[in-house]
Chains A and B, each alone.
Chain A
Amino acid sequence: MTKEELKSRLGELLPSATFEEGTEWTTIMIDPSAWKGIARQLRFTPGLDLDYLFCLSCVDWKTHFTMVYHMESTLHRHILVVKAKLDRSDPEIATVSDIWRTAEFHEREAYDLFGVRFTDHPDLRRLFMTEEWKGWPLRKDYEDPVNMIKL
Protein backbone atom coordinates (compact mmCIF):
# COMPACT_ATOMS: atom_id res chain seq x y z
CA MET A 1 0.00 0.00 0.00
CA THR A 2 1.21 3.52 -0.55
CA LYS A 3 1.55 6.03 2.25
CA GLU A 4 -1.79 7.71 1.52
CA GLU A 5 -3.73 4.44 1.26
CA LEU A 6 -2.21 3.25 4.51
CA LYS A 7 -3.10 6.52 6.19
CA SER A 8 -6.73 6.35 5.10
CA ARG A 9 -7.03 2.67 6.06
CA LEU A 10 -5.59 3.37 9.51
CA GLY A 11 -7.80 6.41 9.89
CA GLU A 12 -10.94 4.30 9.59
CA LEU A 13 -9.58 1.41 11.68
CA LEU A 14 -8.17 3.45 14.57
CA PRO A 15 -10.18 6.62 14.97
CA SER A 16 -8.37 7.64 18.15
CA ALA A 17 -4.89 7.70 16.64
CA THR A 18 -3.26 10.96 15.55
CA PHE A 19 -0.93 11.20 12.57
CA GLU A 20 2.41 12.96 12.45
CA GLU A 21 3.23 14.98 9.39
CA GLY A 22 6.46 15.33 7.47
CA THR A 23 8.04 11.96 8.31
CA GLU A 24 9.55 9.43 5.94
CA TRP A 25 7.16 6.64 6.94
CA THR A 26 3.54 6.78 8.16
CA THR A 27 3.72 7.63 11.86
CA ILE A 28 0.84 7.41 14.32
CA MET A 29 0.61 8.37 17.97
CA ILE A 30 -1.67 6.19 20.12
CA ASP A 31 -2.87 6.01 23.68
CA PRO A 32 -0.77 3.50 25.67
CA SER A 33 -3.74 2.03 27.50
CA ALA A 34 -5.22 0.85 24.17
CA TRP A 35 -1.94 -0.56 22.82
CA LYS A 36 -2.67 -4.26 23.16
CA GLY A 37 -5.90 -4.12 21.16
CA ILE A 38 -4.37 -1.88 18.52
CA ALA A 39 -1.33 -4.16 18.18
CA ARG A 40 -3.56 -7.15 17.56
CA GLN A 41 -5.46 -5.22 14.92
CA LEU A 42 -2.26 -4.13 13.19
CA ARG A 43 -0.93 -7.66 13.13
CA PHE A 44 -3.97 -9.62 12.09
CA THR A 45 -6.14 -7.34 9.93
CA PRO A 46 -5.98 -8.58 6.33
CA GLY A 47 -4.64 -5.79 4.20
CA LEU A 48 -2.36 -4.50 6.97
CA ASP A 49 -0.54 -7.72 8.02
CA LEU A 50 2.27 -5.96 9.85
CA ASP A 51 4.18 -9.07 10.87
CA TYR A 52 7.82 -7.92 11.10
CA LEU A 53 8.63 -5.71 14.08
CA PHE A 54 12.15 -4.54 13.41
CA CYS A 55 12.85 -1.90 16.00
CA LEU A 56 11.52 -1.20 19.48
CA SER A 57 13.05 1.80 21.24
CA CYS A 58 12.38 4.23 24.02
CA VAL A 59 13.27 7.93 24.00
CA ASP A 60 13.59 9.99 27.17
CA TRP A 61 12.16 13.49 26.66
CA LYS A 62 12.82 14.95 30.07
CA THR A 63 9.12 15.37 30.88
CA HIS A 64 7.86 12.05 29.51
CA PHE A 65 8.95 8.89 27.68
CA THR A 66 8.00 7.90 24.16
CA MET A 67 7.96 4.26 23.04
CA VAL A 68 8.64 3.91 19.31
CA TYR A 69 7.75 0.75 17.40
CA HIS A 70 8.91 0.35 13.78
CA MET A 71 7.08 -2.41 11.92
CA GLU A 72 6.86 -3.69 8.38
CA SER A 73 4.66 -6.05 6.42
CA THR A 74 6.51 -8.74 4.48
CA LEU A 75 3.48 -9.28 2.23
CA HIS A 76 2.59 -5.75 1.20
CA ARG A 77 5.93 -4.04 1.92
CA HIS A 78 4.65 -1.02 3.80
CA ILE A 79 6.22 0.41 6.95
CA LEU A 80 4.47 1.92 9.95
CA VAL A 81 5.86 3.70 12.98
CA VAL A 82 3.78 3.66 16.17
CA LYS A 83 4.51 5.97 19.08
CA ALA A 84 3.06 6.06 22.58
CA LYS A 85 3.65 8.66 25.28
CA LEU A 86 4.35 7.34 28.76
CA ASP A 87 4.29 9.06 32.11
CA ARG A 88 7.81 9.55 33.46
CA SER A 89 7.11 8.83 37.10
CA ASP A 90 5.49 5.43 36.45
CA PRO A 91 6.10 4.24 32.89
CA GLU A 92 4.00 1.22 32.05
CA ILE A 93 2.68 -0.27 28.83
CA ALA A 94 1.30 -3.63 27.67
CA THR A 95 3.69 -6.18 26.29
CA VAL A 96 3.48 -7.36 22.69
CA SER A 97 5.77 -10.37 23.06
CA ASP A 98 2.90 -12.75 22.37
CA ILE A 99 2.12 -11.03 19.08
CA TRP A 100 5.68 -10.47 17.82
CA ARG A 101 8.11 -12.90 19.51
CA THR A 102 11.04 -10.58 18.93
CA ALA A 103 9.63 -8.11 21.44
CA GLU A 104 10.57 -10.35 24.35
CA PHE A 105 14.26 -9.38 24.27
CA HIS A 106 13.66 -5.82 23.12
CA GLU A 107 11.29 -5.13 26.02
CA ARG A 108 13.75 -6.56 28.52
CA GLU A 109 16.33 -4.16 27.13
CA ALA A 110 13.96 -1.19 27.48
CA TYR A 111 13.23 -2.23 31.07
CA ASP A 112 16.92 -2.58 31.86
CA LEU A 113 18.00 0.75 30.44
CA PHE A 114 14.96 2.97 31.07
CA GLY A 115 12.84 1.33 33.72
CA VAL A 116 9.70 0.95 31.62
CA ARG A 117 7.52 -1.83 32.96
CA PHE A 118 5.72 -4.12 30.52
CA THR A 119 2.61 -5.73 31.98
CA ASP A 120 2.20 -9.49 31.40
CA HIS A 121 5.74 -9.93 30.11
CA PRO A 122 6.73 -13.59 30.67
CA ASP A 123 10.15 -12.83 32.16
CA LEU A 124 10.86 -9.18 32.90
CA ARG A 125 14.33 -8.82 34.36
CA ARG A 126 17.54 -7.00 33.56
CA LEU A 127 19.32 -8.02 30.41
CA PHE A 128 22.65 -6.23 30.15
CA MET A 129 23.38 -4.95 33.64
CA THR A 130 23.86 -7.19 36.66
CA GLU A 131 20.76 -8.01 38.72
CA GLU A 132 21.85 -5.78 41.61
CA TRP A 133 22.48 -2.67 39.52
CA LYS A 134 20.64 0.38 40.84
CA GLY A 135 19.31 2.98 38.50
CA TRP A 136 18.23 3.16 34.87
CA PRO A 137 21.38 3.99 32.88
CA LEU A 138 20.04 5.54 29.70
CA ARG A 139 17.77 8.08 31.38
CA LYS A 140 18.88 11.64 30.98
CA ASP A 141 19.15 12.24 34.73
CA TYR A 142 21.34 9.20 35.44
CA GLU A 143 24.34 10.12 37.57
CA ASP A 144 27.14 7.67 38.27
CA PRO A 145 30.16 9.42 39.77
CA VAL A 146 31.95 6.13 40.40
CA ASN A 147 31.97 4.72 36.88
CA MET A 148 31.36 7.57 34.48
CA ILE A 149 34.28 9.85 33.70
CA LYS A 150 32.88 12.91 32.00
CA LEU A 151 34.86 14.64 29.30
Chain B
Amino acid sequence: MIEELSTTEQGELVINIGPQHPSTHGVLHLIITLNGETIRKVEPHLGYIHRSIEKMCESLSYRQFIYVTSRMDYLSSHINNHGCALCVEKGLQIEVPPRAKVIRVLMDELTRMASHQLWWGALAMDVGALTPFFHAFREREAINDIMEETCGARLTMNYIVPGGVMIDLHPNFQHKVKEFITLFSSKIDEYDDLVTDNVIFRGRMEGVGYLSKEDAISYGCSGPTARGSGVSCDIRKLYPYEVYEQLKFEEIRVTGGDCYARYLVRMGEMRQSLSIIGQLIDNIPEGEFQAKTKAVLKLPKGEFYSRVETARGEFGVYIVSEGGTTPYRIKFRSPGFSNLSALDHMARGHKIGDLVAIMGTLDLVIPDIDR
Protein backbone atom coordinates (compact mmCIF):
# COMPACT_ATOMS: atom_id res chain seq x y z
CA MET B 1 0.00 0.00 0.00
CA ILE B 2 1.08 3.60 -0.21
CA GLU B 3 3.47 4.83 2.44
CA GLU B 4 1.63 6.90 4.98
CA LEU B 5 2.99 10.40 5.37
CA SER B 6 1.57 12.77 7.87
CA THR B 7 3.81 15.79 7.48
CA THR B 8 6.34 16.83 4.87
CA GLU B 9 9.71 18.39 5.63
CA GLN B 10 8.30 21.92 5.49
CA GLY B 11 5.74 21.05 8.16
CA GLU B 12 2.87 20.87 5.74
CA LEU B 13 0.06 18.44 6.42
CA VAL B 14 -0.59 15.51 4.08
CA ILE B 15 -4.13 14.16 4.19
CA ASN B 16 -6.24 11.69 2.30
CA ILE B 17 -9.52 12.22 0.61
CA GLY B 18 -9.91 8.52 0.49
CA PRO B 19 -11.46 6.22 -2.03
CA GLN B 20 -14.72 6.12 -0.12
CA HIS B 21 -16.03 9.65 0.11
CA PRO B 22 -19.38 11.14 -0.80
CA SER B 23 -18.05 13.81 -3.06
CA THR B 24 -15.45 12.03 -5.14
CA HIS B 25 -18.03 10.76 -7.63
CA GLY B 26 -16.69 7.28 -7.54
CA VAL B 27 -13.47 5.91 -6.15
CA LEU B 28 -10.89 8.61 -6.53
CA HIS B 29 -8.11 8.77 -3.99
CA LEU B 30 -6.59 12.21 -3.58
CA ILE B 31 -3.53 12.93 -1.47
CA ILE B 32 -3.51 16.60 -0.62
CA THR B 33 -0.61 18.57 0.78
CA LEU B 34 -1.90 21.44 2.86
CA ASN B 35 -0.33 24.51 4.34
CA GLY B 36 -2.84 25.42 7.00
CA GLU B 37 -6.00 25.16 4.97
CA THR B 38 -4.56 26.15 1.62
CA ILE B 39 -3.80 23.44 -0.87
CA ARG B 40 -0.21 23.17 -2.07
CA LYS B 41 -0.44 20.02 -4.18
CA VAL B 42 -3.11 17.51 -5.20
CA GLU B 43 -2.06 14.05 -6.27
CA PRO B 44 -4.70 11.71 -7.64
CA HIS B 45 -4.22 7.98 -7.15
CA LEU B 46 -6.14 5.92 -9.64
CA GLY B 47 -6.74 2.26 -10.18
CA TYR B 48 -9.43 1.53 -7.61
CA ILE B 49 -11.87 0.53 -10.36
CA HIS B 50 -9.37 -0.59 -13.02
CA ARG B 51 -11.21 -3.51 -14.54
CA SER B 52 -8.70 -4.36 -17.28
CA ILE B 53 -11.22 -3.62 -20.00
CA GLU B 54 -8.65 -3.19 -22.76
CA LYS B 55 -7.17 -6.62 -22.12
CA MET B 56 -10.59 -8.20 -21.91
CA CYS B 57 -11.67 -6.73 -25.26
CA GLU B 58 -8.82 -8.53 -27.01
CA SER B 59 -10.71 -11.77 -26.51
CA LEU B 60 -14.21 -10.52 -27.35
CA SER B 61 -15.64 -10.35 -30.86
CA TYR B 62 -16.54 -7.09 -32.57
CA ARG B 63 -20.19 -7.43 -31.65
CA GLN B 64 -19.45 -8.37 -28.06
CA PHE B 65 -17.02 -5.70 -26.92
CA ILE B 66 -19.57 -2.89 -27.20
CA TYR B 67 -21.40 -3.87 -24.02
CA VAL B 68 -18.32 -3.20 -21.96
CA THR B 69 -18.07 0.42 -23.05
CA SER B 70 -21.55 1.03 -21.62
CA ARG B 71 -20.06 0.35 -18.25
CA MET B 72 -17.09 2.65 -18.66
CA ASP B 73 -18.77 6.03 -18.69
CA TYR B 74 -22.13 4.76 -17.58
CA LEU B 75 -23.82 8.15 -17.71
CA SER B 76 -23.27 8.52 -21.46
CA SER B 77 -23.59 4.84 -22.26
CA HIS B 78 -25.34 5.32 -25.61
CA ILE B 79 -22.69 7.74 -26.82
CA ASN B 80 -19.88 5.35 -25.89
CA ASN B 81 -21.59 2.53 -27.77
CA HIS B 82 -22.05 4.90 -30.68
CA GLY B 83 -18.33 5.63 -30.82
CA CYS B 84 -17.48 1.93 -30.95
CA ALA B 85 -20.10 1.21 -33.60
CA LEU B 86 -18.77 4.08 -35.73
CA CYS B 87 -15.25 2.66 -35.54
CA VAL B 88 -16.34 -0.82 -36.58
CA GLU B 89 -18.44 0.61 -39.41
CA LYS B 90 -15.47 2.65 -40.59
CA GLY B 91 -13.44 -0.52 -40.82
CA LEU B 92 -16.07 -2.53 -42.63
CA GLN B 93 -17.33 0.38 -44.79
CA ILE B 94 -20.95 -0.21 -43.75
CA GLU B 95 -23.55 2.36 -44.78
CA VAL B 96 -26.03 3.06 -41.98
CA PRO B 97 -29.67 3.65 -43.05
CA PRO B 98 -31.06 7.19 -42.41
CA ARG B 99 -33.67 6.03 -39.91
CA ALA B 100 -30.99 4.44 -37.76
CA LYS B 101 -28.87 7.60 -37.92
CA VAL B 102 -31.71 9.77 -36.62
CA ILE B 103 -32.61 7.28 -33.88
CA ARG B 104 -28.98 7.18 -32.76
CA VAL B 105 -28.74 10.97 -32.53
CA LEU B 106 -32.02 11.14 -30.59
CA MET B 107 -30.79 8.59 -28.09
CA ASP B 108 -27.45 10.41 -27.80
CA GLU B 109 -29.04 13.71 -26.99
CA LEU B 110 -31.44 12.20 -24.47
CA THR B 111 -28.46 10.55 -22.77
CA ARG B 112 -26.55 13.81 -22.75
CA MET B 113 -29.45 15.52 -21.03
CA ALA B 114 -29.80 12.76 -18.46
CA SER B 115 -26.09 12.96 -17.71
CA HIS B 116 -26.18 16.73 -17.27
CA GLN B 117 -29.23 16.46 -15.02
CA LEU B 118 -27.38 14.11 -12.72
CA TRP B 119 -24.30 16.34 -12.84
CA TRP B 120 -26.40 19.32 -11.80
CA GLY B 121 -28.00 17.48 -8.89
CA ALA B 122 -24.66 16.06 -7.70
CA LEU B 123 -22.85 19.40 -7.99
CA ALA B 124 -25.49 21.19 -5.96
CA MET B 125 -25.34 18.42 -3.35
CA ASP B 126 -21.55 18.68 -3.10
CA VAL B 127 -21.69 22.42 -2.64
CA GLY B 128 -24.26 21.99 0.12
CA ALA B 129 -27.72 22.32 -1.40
CA LEU B 130 -29.56 19.03 -0.95
CA THR B 131 -32.88 19.80 -2.68
CA PRO B 132 -31.77 20.02 -6.34
CA PHE B 133 -30.71 16.38 -6.15
CA PHE B 134 -34.32 15.26 -5.90
CA HIS B 135 -35.44 17.61 -8.66
CA ALA B 136 -32.75 16.24 -10.96
CA PHE B 137 -33.65 12.64 -10.29
CA ARG B 138 -37.32 13.29 -10.87
CA GLU B 139 -36.63 14.49 -14.41
CA ARG B 140 -34.07 11.79 -14.99
CA GLU B 141 -36.71 9.17 -14.25
CA ALA B 142 -38.75 10.51 -17.17
CA ILE B 143 -35.82 9.87 -19.53
CA ASN B 144 -35.17 6.47 -17.97
CA ASP B 145 -38.77 5.46 -18.62
CA ILE B 146 -38.46 6.43 -22.29
CA MET B 147 -35.22 4.45 -22.61
CA GLU B 148 -36.63 1.43 -20.83
CA GLU B 149 -39.57 1.12 -23.20
CA THR B 150 -37.42 1.09 -26.30
CA CYS B 151 -34.06 -0.27 -25.23
CA GLY B 152 -35.00 -2.50 -22.33
CA ALA B 153 -32.69 -1.05 -19.71
CA ARG B 154 -32.45 2.13 -17.69
CA LEU B 155 -28.75 2.74 -17.39
CA THR B 156 -26.50 0.48 -19.46
CA MET B 157 -28.27 -0.07 -22.73
CA ASN B 158 -26.61 -2.01 -25.51
CA TYR B 159 -28.89 -0.59 -28.12
CA ILE B 160 -26.52 0.78 -30.77
CA VAL B 161 -24.85 -1.99 -32.76
CA PRO B 162 -22.58 -1.92 -35.82
CA GLY B 163 -24.94 -1.26 -38.71
CA GLY B 164 -27.70 0.58 -36.91
CA VAL B 165 -29.74 -0.02 -33.80
CA MET B 166 -30.77 -3.31 -32.30
CA ILE B 167 -34.57 -3.01 -32.53
CA ASP B 168 -37.06 -0.49 -33.83
CA LEU B 169 -38.55 2.30 -31.73
CA HIS B 170 -41.48 1.58 -29.46
CA PRO B 171 -44.78 3.04 -30.83
CA ASN B 172 -45.06 5.29 -27.77
CA PHE B 173 -41.63 6.81 -28.23
CA GLN B 174 -42.58 9.93 -30.20
CA HIS B 175 -45.48 10.78 -27.95
CA LYS B 176 -43.51 10.33 -24.76
CA VAL B 177 -40.56 12.36 -26.00
CA LYS B 178 -42.84 15.21 -27.00
CA GLU B 179 -44.39 15.15 -23.54
CA PHE B 180 -40.92 15.22 -22.05
CA ILE B 181 -39.92 18.24 -24.13
CA THR B 182 -42.88 20.26 -22.88
CA LEU B 183 -42.21 19.13 -19.31
CA PHE B 184 -38.51 19.89 -19.32
CA SER B 185 -38.68 23.29 -21.00
CA SER B 186 -40.37 24.64 -17.92
CA LYS B 187 -38.25 22.64 -15.51
CA ILE B 188 -34.97 23.97 -16.78
CA ASP B 189 -36.12 27.49 -16.00
CA GLU B 190 -36.91 26.16 -12.53
CA TYR B 191 -33.34 24.87 -12.28
CA ASP B 192 -32.05 28.32 -13.15
CA ASP B 193 -34.26 29.90 -10.52
CA LEU B 194 -33.15 27.43 -7.87
CA VAL B 195 -29.43 27.47 -8.32
CA THR B 196 -27.90 29.59 -11.08
CA ASP B 197 -28.50 33.04 -9.63
CA ASN B 198 -28.23 32.04 -6.00
CA VAL B 199 -25.85 34.37 -4.16
CA ILE B 200 -24.19 31.64 -2.12
CA PHE B 201 -23.72 29.40 -5.15
CA ARG B 202 -22.17 32.18 -7.20
CA GLY B 203 -19.89 33.09 -4.35
CA ARG B 204 -18.59 29.53 -4.26
CA MET B 205 -18.19 29.16 -8.00
CA GLU B 206 -16.94 32.46 -9.31
CA GLY B 207 -13.21 32.97 -9.40
CA VAL B 208 -12.51 29.39 -8.34
CA GLY B 209 -10.41 26.95 -10.34
CA TYR B 210 -9.18 29.10 -13.18
CA LEU B 211 -7.97 27.26 -16.29
CA SER B 212 -6.57 29.34 -19.13
CA LYS B 213 -7.15 28.52 -22.78
CA GLU B 214 -3.57 27.44 -23.49
CA ASP B 215 -3.47 25.25 -20.42
CA ALA B 216 -6.75 23.63 -21.34
CA ILE B 217 -5.36 22.62 -24.75
CA SER B 218 -2.02 21.55 -23.35
CA TYR B 219 -3.63 19.35 -20.71
CA GLY B 220 -5.79 17.75 -23.39
CA CYS B 221 -9.07 18.88 -21.86
CA SER B 222 -12.15 18.57 -23.99
CA GLY B 223 -15.87 18.94 -23.66
CA PRO B 224 -17.46 21.45 -21.28
CA THR B 225 -14.24 21.67 -19.26
CA ALA B 226 -12.39 23.17 -22.22
CA ARG B 227 -15.38 25.09 -23.57
CA GLY B 228 -15.61 26.88 -20.25
CA SER B 229 -12.18 28.31 -21.02
CA GLY B 230 -13.09 29.40 -24.50
CA VAL B 231 -11.66 26.49 -26.52
CA SER B 232 -13.73 25.45 -29.52
CA CYS B 233 -13.71 21.68 -29.40
CA ASP B 234 -17.18 20.27 -30.02
CA ILE B 235 -16.70 17.17 -32.21
CA ARG B 236 -20.30 17.48 -33.34
CA LYS B 237 -19.40 20.76 -35.03
CA LEU B 238 -15.80 20.17 -36.09
CA TYR B 239 -15.98 16.61 -37.45
CA PRO B 240 -19.71 15.98 -37.75
CA TYR B 241 -20.98 12.42 -37.81
CA GLU B 242 -24.48 11.01 -38.45
CA VAL B 243 -26.96 13.87 -39.04
CA TYR B 244 -25.31 16.63 -37.01
CA GLU B 245 -24.44 18.60 -40.16
CA GLN B 246 -28.08 19.17 -40.99
CA LEU B 247 -29.09 20.30 -37.52
CA LYS B 248 -29.19 23.85 -36.21
CA PHE B 249 -27.53 24.10 -32.82
CA GLU B 250 -24.83 26.22 -31.24
CA GLU B 251 -21.60 25.31 -29.59
CA ILE B 252 -21.76 26.89 -26.15
CA ARG B 253 -18.48 28.55 -25.25
CA VAL B 254 -17.95 30.82 -22.27
CA THR B 255 -14.70 32.69 -21.78
CA GLY B 256 -14.26 32.80 -18.06
CA GLY B 257 -12.22 29.76 -17.24
CA ASP B 258 -13.58 29.41 -13.71
CA CYS B 259 -16.11 27.00 -12.24
CA TYR B 260 -19.07 29.25 -12.95
CA ALA B 261 -18.18 29.35 -16.65
CA ARG B 262 -18.10 25.54 -16.85
CA TYR B 263 -21.44 25.45 -15.05
CA LEU B 264 -23.00 27.84 -17.56
CA VAL B 265 -21.67 25.76 -20.48
CA ARG B 266 -23.48 22.64 -19.26
CA MET B 267 -26.71 24.49 -18.56
CA GLY B 268 -26.57 25.90 -22.11
CA GLU B 269 -25.88 22.43 -23.49
CA MET B 270 -29.02 21.08 -21.88
CA ARG B 271 -31.06 23.69 -23.71
CA GLN B 272 -29.30 22.94 -27.00
CA SER B 273 -29.98 19.22 -26.63
CA LEU B 274 -33.64 19.98 -26.04
CA SER B 275 -33.74 22.00 -29.26
CA ILE B 276 -32.00 19.22 -31.23
CA ILE B 277 -34.52 16.68 -30.01
CA GLY B 278 -37.34 19.06 -30.95
CA GLN B 279 -35.95 19.36 -34.49
CA LEU B 280 -35.64 15.64 -35.00
CA ILE B 281 -38.63 14.10 -33.25
CA ASP B 282 -41.12 14.95 -35.97
CA ASN B 283 -38.84 14.04 -38.86
CA ILE B 284 -37.79 10.46 -38.24
CA PRO B 285 -37.49 8.90 -41.72
CA GLU B 286 -39.09 5.55 -42.44
CA GLY B 287 -37.05 2.57 -43.43
CA GLU B 288 -34.67 0.00 -42.06
CA PHE B 289 -33.31 0.30 -38.56
CA GLN B 290 -30.25 -1.86 -39.20
CA ALA B 291 -28.05 -2.43 -42.23
CA LYS B 292 -27.52 -6.01 -43.33
CA THR B 293 -24.22 -7.27 -41.95
CA LYS B 294 -22.64 -10.67 -41.66
CA ALA B 295 -23.16 -12.58 -38.44
CA VAL B 296 -19.45 -12.70 -37.64
CA LEU B 297 -17.64 -9.43 -38.28
CA LYS B 298 -14.01 -9.39 -39.37
CA LEU B 299 -12.28 -6.08 -39.75
CA PRO B 300 -9.57 -5.87 -42.41
CA LYS B 301 -5.95 -5.41 -41.39
CA GLY B 302 -5.24 -1.83 -40.36
CA GLU B 303 -5.99 0.84 -37.81
CA PHE B 304 -9.22 2.75 -37.28
CA TYR B 305 -10.03 5.69 -35.05
CA SER B 306 -13.39 7.29 -34.36
CA ARG B 307 -14.25 10.31 -32.21
CA VAL B 308 -17.56 11.23 -30.63
CA GLU B 309 -18.64 13.91 -28.21
CA THR B 310 -19.88 12.49 -24.92
CA ALA B 311 -21.27 14.50 -22.06
CA ARG B 312 -17.77 14.75 -20.61
CA GLY B 313 -15.73 15.46 -23.70
CA GLU B 314 -14.11 13.70 -26.59
CA PHE B 315 -14.24 9.90 -26.54
CA GLY B 316 -11.96 8.10 -28.95
CA VAL B 317 -11.89 4.44 -29.97
CA TYR B 318 -8.64 3.22 -31.57
CA ILE B 319 -8.79 -0.31 -33.00
CA VAL B 320 -5.71 -2.08 -34.37
CA SER B 321 -6.85 -5.10 -36.31
CA GLU B 322 -4.91 -8.03 -37.73
CA GLY B 323 -7.76 -9.39 -39.80
CA GLY B 324 -9.23 -11.71 -37.18
CA THR B 325 -12.59 -11.85 -35.45
CA THR B 326 -11.27 -10.14 -32.31
CA PRO B 327 -9.36 -6.85 -32.17
CA TYR B 328 -5.60 -7.06 -31.75
CA ARG B 329 -5.43 -3.95 -29.58
CA ILE B 330 -8.13 -1.52 -28.51
CA LYS B 331 -7.40 1.77 -26.85
CA PHE B 332 -10.17 3.92 -25.46
CA ARG B 333 -9.28 7.59 -25.22
CA SER B 334 -11.40 8.66 -22.29
CA PRO B 335 -12.24 12.32 -21.69
CA GLY B 336 -12.02 12.14 -17.92
CA PHE B 337 -8.40 10.98 -17.98
CA SER B 338 -7.17 14.21 -19.53
CA ASN B 339 -9.60 16.41 -17.62
CA LEU B 340 -8.34 14.98 -14.35
CA SER B 341 -4.73 15.84 -15.11
CA ALA B 342 -5.66 19.51 -14.98
CA LEU B 343 -7.03 19.19 -11.43
CA ASP B 344 -3.68 19.76 -9.71
CA HIS B 345 -3.05 22.88 -11.74
CA MET B 346 -6.50 24.31 -11.02
CA ALA B 347 -6.66 23.59 -7.32
CA ARG B 348 -3.42 25.07 -6.04
CA GLY B 349 -3.89 27.97 -3.71
CA HIS B 350 -7.52 27.18 -2.94
CA LYS B 351 -9.20 25.68 0.11
CA ILE B 352 -10.60 22.17 0.41
CA GLY B 353 -14.16 23.35 -0.10
CA ASP B 354 -13.08 24.88 -3.40
CA LEU B 355 -11.51 21.57 -4.39
CA VAL B 356 -14.89 19.91 -4.03
CA ALA B 357 -16.49 22.59 -6.19
CA ILE B 358 -13.79 22.18 -8.87
CA MET B 359 -14.22 18.41 -8.97
CA GLY B 360 -17.94 18.90 -9.30
CA THR B 361 -17.60 21.10 -12.34
CA LEU B 362 -15.06 18.76 -13.97
CA ASP B 363 -17.79 16.11 -13.91
CA LEU B 364 -15.55 13.11 -13.38
CA VAL B 365 -16.78 9.57 -13.67
CA ILE B 366 -13.98 7.42 -12.31
CA PRO B 367 -14.65 4.14 -14.15
CA ASP B 368 -14.23 6.18 -17.34
CA ILE B 369 -10.76 7.24 -16.17
CA ASP B 370 -9.62 3.88 -14.91
CA ARG B 371 -11.18 1.74 -17.61
Contact = CB atoms under 8 A, between A and B. Distances in A.
Contact of A53 (B90, B220, B302, B305): B220
Nearest to A70: B305
A126 B2 CA distance: 12
Interface residues of A, number: 33
A101 B55 contact: no
Contacts of B302: 22-23
Contacts of A92: none
Nearest to B345: A101
Given A52-B220, A101-B341, A128-B370, A24 B47 contact: no
Categorize the interface residue count of chain B. 35 or more
A126 B1 CA distance: 12
A51 B218 CA distance: 7
Given A52-B220, A105-B341, A60 B329 contact: yes
Interface in B306-347: 314, 316, 318, 320, 328-329, 331, 333, 337-338, 340-341, 345
Contacts of A106: 337
Given A74-B217, A74-B233, A100-B218, A54 B314 contact: yes
Interface string A34-59: 00000000000000000111110101
A127 to B, nearest CB: 6
B309 to A, nearest CB: 13
A24 B333 CA distance: 18
A19 to B, nearest CB: 15
A130 B46 CA distance: 10
Contacts of A127: 46-47
Nearest to A132: B1
B299 interface: no
Contacts of B316: 54-55, 70
Interface secondary structure of B, over-half rule:
mixed
A150 to B, nearest CB: 8
Interface string A104-141: 11100100010000000000001111110000011000
Contacts of B329: 57, 59-60
B296 interface: no
B114 to A, nearest CB: 26
B305 A128 contact: no
B217 A51 contact: yes
Nearest to B316: A55
5 contacts: A51-B217, A52-B220, A59-B328, A130-B1, A130-B47
Given A74-B217, A105-B341, A106-B337, 16 more contacts: A22-B302, A24-B90, A51-B217, A54-B314, A55-B331, A57-B329, A59-B328, A59-B329, A77-B238, A101-B218, A105-B338, A113-B54, A127-B46, A130-B47, A131-B2, A138-B55
